[in-house]
Amino acid sequence: MALPISYYPIEGIFYFFSHWILIRRITCILFITLIATVVAFGLSFGFLLSLQAHALIVAGCPAWLAWIVSVIFCLLEAIIFTLIFYLIATPIWQDALFDDVLRLKGLDYVLERQRNISETTLCCRGVHSGLTITCFQIYALIILQVLTLLLTIPLHALPIIGTILYCYINGWIMTWGHQLHYHLEIKEFNVKQSIRFALRNHDDYVMFGMVAVALELIPIANFIFFWTNVVGAALWTADVRCLKISRNSLTK
């Protein structure tokens, strides 16, 4: 029997910590990110520090100020490089974690469809879906800003309303983002079909997303919840899939 949809983000936490293969994948992600960070800082301070400092000195900047500014530049460059790396790699890691959960739930056969799709097609779909998500996020942000402006006084009096509103608006988008991999690469939807499917199930997506967004608002722990929400989305997908199979078996 499927769980209440709003409970899946919570179930994702328990499921994640009860399966070493999922913990190991996140540990690898942390290790790779750490390596990328070390490389970024090493290259920045090892090669760019002196080059930038000397360039500033040649441009007429005092030596002491040039070195201070150069250090600041190197810090910013290393941080930006690490963030770019993380933003590029995160969707790949999320998809891999999602697939791991499906395998653990005995749905290996579902993943076979991905092998019939060329890498070029997957790449194009990924870029397209990424741009679409960005547009939706911008649209949601505008709505949030307008609503916040209109509800400024009540929100100051009852700040919890602001949090609920934030979770509601962003919940659907977050849930859709977690399901995109399944829609595009496994069910072979295009982006428009994925959006229509998500809109038809708007209430369910919001119920899952509100809890997921709320978990990611918790300081420090939100890093773990970012990944356990992916696990929760995969568990929901697996249960829905199994429920459909059971119904089809009964009708036959």
More confident residue, 38 or 149: 38
Q: If you write DSSP's letter for every residue of 104-135 in order, what string do you get?
A: HTT-GGGGGGGGGS-HHHHHHHHHHHHHHHHH
More confident residue, 238 or 133: 238
CA 91-95-101 angle, to 5 degrees, is 145
CB 91 within 8 A of CB 130: yes
Residues 163-185 pLDDT 10s: 787 788 788 888 988 898 888 88
% residues pLDDT > 90 (the chain): 29
What pLDDT sits at residue 84? 81
> pLDDT band at residue 102, thresholds of 50, 70 and 90?
very high
More confident residue, 246 or 44: 44
Q: Which of 63, 107, 74 is nearest to 241 (CA)?
A: 107
Q: If you average pLDDT over every residue of the chain, what do you get?
A: 80
Residue 201 pLDDT greater than 70, yes or no: yes
Name the CA radius of gyration of the chain, rounded.
22
Across 110-124, 126-140, 173-187, 202-216, least confident range: 126-140
H or E element at residue 85 = helix 63-104
Winning range, highest mean pLDDT, from 27-31, 68-72, 159-163, 239-243: 68-72
Rounded Cα distance between 187 and 162, Å, is: 36
Phi, psi (rounded to 5 degrees) for 201? -110, 35
What pLDDT sits at residue 42? 92
H or E element at residue 76 = helix 63-104
Q: What is the pTM of this model?
A: 0.76
What pLDDT sits at residue 156? 43
> pLDDT band at residue 137, thresholds of 50, 70 and 90?
low
> pLDDT band at residue 197, thresholds of 50, 70 and 90?
very high
> pLDDT band at residue 121, thresholds of 50, 70 and 90?
low
CA 22-25-30 angle, to 5 degrees, is 130
**Neighbour count for residue 2 (Cβ, 10 Å):** 13
What pLDDT sits at residue 203? 93
Length of the chain: 252
Q: Which of 181, 190, 159 is nearest to 101 (CA)?
A: 181
Q: Which of 57, 48, 6, 27 is nearest to 224 (CA)?
A: 27
> pLDDT band at residue 245, thresholds of 50, 70 and 90?
confident
* Residues contacting residue 225 through CB under 8 Å, at least 6 positions apart: 9, 13, 212, 215, 216, 218
Residue 144 pLDDT greater than 60, yes or no: no
CA 24-231-5 angle, to 5 degrees, is 160
In the block, tokens 């994702």 appear at 12
What pLDDT sits at residue 155? 45
More confident residue, 187 or 122: 187
